[in-house]
Chain A
Amino acid sequence: MGVEGIGARVARKEDKRFITGSGRYVDDMVVPGMKHAAFVRSPHAHADVKKIDTKAAEAMPGVIAVLTGKQLKADGIGNLICGWMVHSKDGTPMKMGAWSPLAVDRVRYVGDAVAIVVAETRGQARDAAEAVEVTYKERKAVTSAVDALKKGAPQLHPEADGNLIYDWELGDRAATEAAIANAAHVTKMHIVNNRLVPNAMEPRAALGHYDKAEDHYTCWTTSQNPHVARLVMSAFYNVAPENKLRVIAPDVGGGFGSKIFIYPEEIVCLWASKKAGVPVKWVADRTESFLTDAHGRDHVTEVELAFDDKHRMIGLKVDTIANFGAYMSLFSSSVPTYLYATLLSGQYAISAIHANVRAVYTNTAPVDAYRGAGRPEATYLLERVVETAARELGVSPAELRRKNFIREFPYQTPVIMAYDAGDYEASLEAAMKAADYAGFEKRREKAKKAGKLRGIGMSCYIEACGIAPSAAVGSLGAGVGLWESAEVRVNAVGTIEVLTGSHSHGQGHETTFSQLVSDRFGVPIDSVSIVHGDTDKVQMGMGTYGSRSGAVGMSAIVKALDKVEAKAKKIAAHLMEADEGDIVIENGECKVAGTDKSVPWFQLALAAYTAHNLPGGMEPGLKEGAFYDPTNFTFPAGCYICEVEVDPDTGVTEIVQFVAADDFGNIINPMIVEGQVHGGIAQGIGQALLEGTSYDPASGQLLTASYMDYTMPRADDLPSFSVSHQNTPCPGNPLGIKGCGEAGAIGSPPAVINAITNAIGNNDLTMPATPQTVWKALHAATKH
């Protein structure tokens, strides 16, 4: 490996601009004549819209236009869609209710947009938005998915009878029920996975610009996948044909999934720009972000895990109710199905698995993929029930897991996934060693003397990344293929641009992708530029989510590099009158192996473009593109161990140790990977200890709509993490990498909760385990 090649801890190229405040985000974009928008939003969780009177607002200072859903519909703008078709077990397609970018007849959650105001300044737009008089007739609201399924619950969409979107199943129900009936032991649990608000540092924003002269639209937006945004906006929302719509996602300050989806605001800003004749910018404030960013998780599950008399897992039965909120967001349907139930085998050989999932409308913000998307829900479920089973069976949690680990690969699970490689024992061993698991009882005794309750918990997670083979996801209902594209452009003097369909919003692609090129040609990473996030610059691509930019995005770059290298070698061989097979490219030179003949890289590039002396019939230039379609998901896995001390007087949990042992396959930049793990664990600990989203059940108002009530993890909530890597290279892609972006958030919550329940001696504990929750659980435990 070179100093800047694969495996090197290279400092992030992009950090200088980020940490000096010189990044360029959507809100930094200025277009001549640009005006500002504010949305009029429903204060009610559920109501009929009787009348919208815009007269007073139109008369306010600086107001240019006040536009409503009726006008939007009249202009033929389409409804928002969910792009993944899931069928119920009776074969009927999912029941998708209409989601108009601006609500026309009915609002279904607090924050639902009903009108847009365009004004000279942001302040004027907001003032005028308050002056728009909307007459509502309130309806009863329902916020819990369990309640929404009950007879007599308020109905959200005429398309979805009983608020049920689908009733889906996976696996063999009969075999699973038989295994449970014949089991030596069955562990049963009721598991709630708490709803989370994504809280990207940069709120969502959109700038729509209709150019009348060119009859062309440009949309700057906070997107993780600008090409998909363009595709969906032109194909479904009728905003403009693709060739007349440019989508730019510049620097984006975090997404965590929430910026994958197409939201009403960017569509409305584009439409309003044409309608009002001015470029229109909208930037969410934090309250709007809380109310309208797609939330994550929100599952309620009954689970049964059956064991034979040798403590082998023989059956897993899962019945989940998933809250989808008021509308089906872009990929919502796939999250509690193909990204959740398919991972329920975990790291274990379980002979029979059955999962039933009901997706339900409620009067809350739409729910969609959030860091981990389905896999944290599966992991939390499985790892809590496995730990609980160990306690019930009176065996060590590590031994019970070991006994059931999958040890031969490839392994076909009963729930679609075929694991390609892994060594779960290695991560378990590494984590237990790093955590000094054996010394825990001594530490517990010591803590007891200091008045603290010490507990330890583990979690052995598996997840599926790099989504995914296009034909496979197509057969499961995906509306898109999930390949990735790359183009490698060697410039005339040898500097290199890589155009990638991946999108970086914190992941460090400008560094890691450059390292690939540096590794291949021995050029410094400073001579490599990564171009992304602009549909006018970059060929069609699928964007960044599902930890796919390494396994899929970089694989596309590798394919393009292969083509560039092959052509470069042909040119070099021709220039040095050598055999193509003898050419090696390293340290910025093309050499003939075993001789002192060489051509510097820049000269070779120049030769390709002057084209004065190329091999006969060769086209000039040195630029190649590639599309890469993965052959399988990738399967990162690992073991997390958490150790806590609980203060019995207050219920405060302190995480005194957190160990992560991950197998991500090969690693391009260990420092960036560790950063991803740290961030993921912080989010996982956030879910486990701090982050609770609360809607008032009667009014449907979001009670946790600011940082006064929604607790984000802060540095002093977190311990110093111990992170290590085990490596079974992924056989499915050229780099052998699996992906690391979500693992931390997937693996950590059950480890934390298993540790706390171990400390307090009460397994009946829900996330977030706030001081009050833990204190009450402890109180309940000591009462018995």
Chain B
Amino acid sequence: MYSTSYHRASSVADAVKLLKKAEDGKFVSGGMTLIPAMKTRLAAPSDLVDLRHIAELKGIRISGKNVTIGAGTTHAEVAANDKLASVCHAIVHMASHIGDPHVRHLGTLGGSIANNDPAADYPAATVALGATIVTNKREIAAEKFFTGLFETALKDDEIVTGVTFTAPAKCGYEKFRNPASRYAMAGVFVAKGKDGVKVAVTGAGEDGVFRSREIEAALTKKFEPSALEGMTVPSKNLMSDLHASADYRANLVVVMAKRAVAAANA
């Protein structure tokens, strides 16, 4: 790692100010991707502005079916929230399967979506849930938020403050892990709500998270695993690497979708 200066921001405004002062600064909120990249010298920010200790970014608020999760909430906090589990079990299940216990206690919702790692879990959840990403400047629909590999609609000094969504009637998430990194190689979040069926896929797409219209169409007819029996999805635009070819990923997307639907109906 190159030497870097660490700053702990006390508020969102303070964070913006600290970043502005830095020569080549970066926000960090868990650092589950950024810190390993810095350790291997692939990233070299002059300053790190840590958002994890900002009180206003913390916490989960639930009112009826409406959920707001603060950007600074750790995966472990989401995973352990019983009230959230009773409203939207799938997101709790998803958070409880991110990385390992160390990652879940350091990594945050805001860090995950702002980084938009193509194999991160939260992008699939937010897209399928039709969530709104709230920043210190505006509100962005999740589907518009994720714009490509490690790219989002965020401006340089824009900070994700939270995510809001209305829990759907049914939802489920299943992922197939990369055997080495244990990141999602294909993660599928299915949701059936008042806007119909939404299916978001992470870990598989060349441009990051995407909606599978084919699976959505099939599940709209019948929200059952059997609706996907014998189905294939195109492997075009899917990632191909050492661990999984695009064809294998296409297969995994359907298999994980089936299992996610089964979980949603359970």
Residues on A facing B (Cβ under 8 Å):
123, 127, 130, 287, 649-651, 690, 692, 694, 703-704, 706-711, 770-772, 775-776
Instruction: Please determine whether B248 and A709 come into contact, CB atoms closer than 8 angstroms.
Output: no
Q: Which residues of B contact A776 (CB under 8 A)?
A: 248
**In the complex, which residue of chain A has the Cβ closest to the Cβ of B252?**
A650
B180 contact from A287, A649, A709, A775, Cβ within 8 A: A709
A692 to B248 Cα, complex, angstroms = 18
Of the candidate stretches B60-68, B103-111, B150-158, B239-247, the one touching chain A is B239-247
12 interchain pairs, CB-CB under 8 A: A123-B1, A127-B2, A649-B251, A650-B255, A690-B180, A706-B40, A709-B242, A709-B243, A711-B179, A711-B180, A772-B244, A776-B248
Instruction: Please determine whether B242 and A694 come into contact, CB atoms closer than 8 angstroms.
Output: yes
**In the complex, which residue of chain B has the Cβ closest to the Cβ of A704?**
B242
> Is B176 among interface residues, defined by CB-CB distance under 8 A?
yes
A694 to B243 Cα, complex, angstroms = 11
Instruction: Please determine whether B179 and A703 come into contact, CB atoms closer than 8 angstroms.
Output: no
Instruction: Please determine whether B176 and A650 come into contact, CB atoms closer than 8 angstroms.
Output: yes
Q: Which residues of B contact A709 (CB under 8 A)?
A: 180-181, 242-243
Instruction: Please determine whether A775 and B179 come into contact, CB atoms closer than 8 angstroms.
Output: no
Q: Which residues of A contact B251 (CB under 8 A)?
A: 649-650, 775
> Is B3 among interface residues, defined by CB-CB distance under 8 A?
yes
A379 to B109 Cα, complex, angstroms = 49
Instruction: Please determine whether A707 and B248 come into contact, CB atoms closer than 8 angstroms.
Output: no
With known contacts A649-B255, A708-B180, A709-B181, A770–B40 Cβ distance under 8 A: no
Can you list the 10 inter-chain pairs with the closest CB atoms, starting with the nearest?
A: A711-B180, A708-B181, A649-B255, A711-B179, A772-B248, A709-B180, A772-B244, A694-B242, A650-B255, A770-B179
A709 to B181 Cα, complex, angstroms = 6
Most B CB atoms within 10 A — which of A692, A703, A771, A776? A771
Q: 1/0 per residue B173-201: CB within 8 Å of A?
A: 00010011100000000000000000000
Would you give the shortest CB distance from B129 to chain A, in whole angstroms?
25
Q: Count B-side interface residues using an 8 Å CB cutoff.
A: 17
Would you give the shortest CB distance from B46 to chain A, in whole angstroms?
14
Q: Describe A's contact surface by its main secondary structure.
A: loop
Q: Describe B's contact surface by its main secondary structure.
A: loop
Q: Which residues of B contact A775 (CB under 8 A)?
A: 248, 251
Would you give the shortest CB distance from A486 to chain B, in whole angstroms?
43
Instruction: Please determine whether A771 and B179 come into contact, CB atoms closer than 8 angstroms.
Output: yes
Q: Which residues of B contact A770 (CB under 8 A)?
A: 179, 243
Q: Which residues of B contact A708 (CB under 8 A)?
A: 180-181
Would you give the shortest CB distance from A320 to chain B, in whole angstroms?
26
Would you give the shortest CB distance from B174 to chain A, in whole angstroms?
11
A287 to B180 Cα, complex, angstroms = 15
A771 to B181 Cα, complex, angstroms = 14
A704 to B181 Cα, complex, angstroms = 11
Would you give the shortest CB distance from A727 to chain B, in whole angstroms?
38
Would you give the shortest CB distance from B4 to chain A, in whole angstroms?
11
A771 to B243 Cα, complex, angstroms = 9
A772 to B3 Cα, complex, angstroms = 40
**In the complex, which residue of chain B has the Cβ closest to the Cβ of A130?**
B41
With known contacts A127-B2, A649-B255, A694-B242, A707–B181 Cβ distance under 8 A: yes
Q: Which residues of A contact B40 (CB under 8 A)?
A: 287, 706
A710 to B179 Cα, complex, angstroms = 9
A505 to B160 Cα, complex, angstroms = 49
Instruction: Please determine whether B3 and A123 come into contact, CB atoms closer than 8 angstroms.
Output: yes
Q: Which residues of A contact B176 (CB under 8 A)?
A: 650, 771
A775 to B248 Cα, complex, angstroms = 8
A690 to B252 Cα, complex, angstroms = 19
Instruction: Please determine whether A703 and B242 come into contact, CB atoms closer than 8 angstroms.
Output: yes
Q: Which of B106-149 contact A (CB under 8 A)?
A: none
Q: 1/0 per residue B80-117: CB within 8 Å of A?
A: 00000000000000000000000000000000000000
A649 to B242 Cα, complex, angstroms = 19
Would you give the shortest CB distance from B121 to chain A, in whole angstroms?
17
Would you give the shortest CB distance from B44 to chain A, in whole angstroms?
11
Would you give the shortest CB distance from B263 to chain A, in whole angstroms?
15
**In the complex, which residue of chain B has the Cβ closest to the Cβ of A710?**
B180
Q: Which residues of A contact B179 (CB under 8 A)?
A: 690, 711, 770-771
Would you give the shortest CB distance from A694 to chain B, in whole angstroms?
6
A650 to B256 Cα, complex, angstroms = 9
A379 to B244 Cα, complex, angstroms = 29
Q: 1/0 per residue B1-42: CB within 8 Å of A?
A: 111000000000000000000000000000000000000110
Most A CB atoms within 10 A — which of B40, B179, B244, B252? B179
Instruction: Please determine whether A772 and B255 come into contact, CB atoms closer than 8 angstroms.
Output: no
A709 to B255 Cα, complex, angstroms = 23
Query: Known contacts A650-B176, A650-B252, A690-B179; can you find 7 more A-B pairs with CB under 8 A?
Result: A649-B255, A651-B248, A709-B242, A772-B244, A772-B245, A772-B248, A775-B248
Q: Which residues of A contact B41 (CB under 8 A)?
A: 130
A706 to B181 Cα, complex, angstroms = 9
**In the complex, which residue of chain B has the Cβ closest to the Cβ of A705?**
B40
Would you give the shortest CB distance from B168 to chain A, in whole angstroms?
26
Q: Which residues of A contact B252 (CB under 8 A)?
A: 650
Q: Which residues of B contact A694 (CB under 8 A)?
A: 242
A287 to B1 Cα, complex, angstroms = 13
Q: Which residues of A contact B245 (CB under 8 A)?
A: 772
Q: Which of B243-266 contact A (CB under 8 A)?
A: 243-245, 248, 251-252, 255
A650 to B244 Cα, complex, angstroms = 11
**In the complex, which residue of chain B has the Cβ closest to the Cβ of A694?**
B242
Instruction: Please determine whether A707 and B180 come into contact, CB atoms closer than 8 angstroms.
Output: yes
Q: Which residues of A contact B2 (CB under 8 A)?
A: 123, 127
A123 to B3 Cα, complex, angstroms = 8
A694 to B2 Cα, complex, angstroms = 28
Would you give the shortest CB distance from B107 to chain A, in whole angstroms?
16
Q: Which residues of B contact A710 (CB under 8 A)?
A: 180
Q: Which residues of A contact B180 (CB under 8 A)?
A: 690, 704, 707-711
A710 to B182 Cα, complex, angstroms = 11
Would you give the shortest CB distance from B248 to chain A, in whole angstroms?
5
A708 to B179 Cα, complex, angstroms = 9
A770 to B40 Cα, complex, angstroms = 27
Most B CB atoms within 10 A — which of A127, A709, A710? A709
A704 to B255 Cα, complex, angstroms = 27
Would you give the shortest CB distance from B11 to chain A, in whole angstroms?
32
Would you give the shortest CB distance from A392 to chain B, in whole angstroms?
30
**In the complex, which residue of chain B has the Cβ closest to the Cβ of A647?**
B255
Would you give the shortest CB distance from A677 to chain B, in whole angstroms?
24
A776 to B245 Cα, complex, angstroms = 10
**In the complex, which residue of chain B has the Cβ closest to the Cβ of A123?**
B3
Q: Which residues of B contact A706 (CB under 8 A)?
A: 40
A704 to B179 Cα, complex, angstroms = 13
Most B CB atoms within 10 A — which of A127, A649, A651? A649
Q: Which residues of A contact B243 (CB under 8 A)?
A: 709, 770, 772
Would you give the shortest CB distance from B155 to chain A, in whole angstroms?
30
A111 to B87 Cα, complex, angstroms = 53
Would you give the shortest CB distance from A520 to chain B, in whole angstroms?
47
Q: Which residues of B contact A771 (CB under 8 A)?
A: 176, 179
Q: Which residues of A contact B248 (CB under 8 A)?
A: 651, 772, 775-776
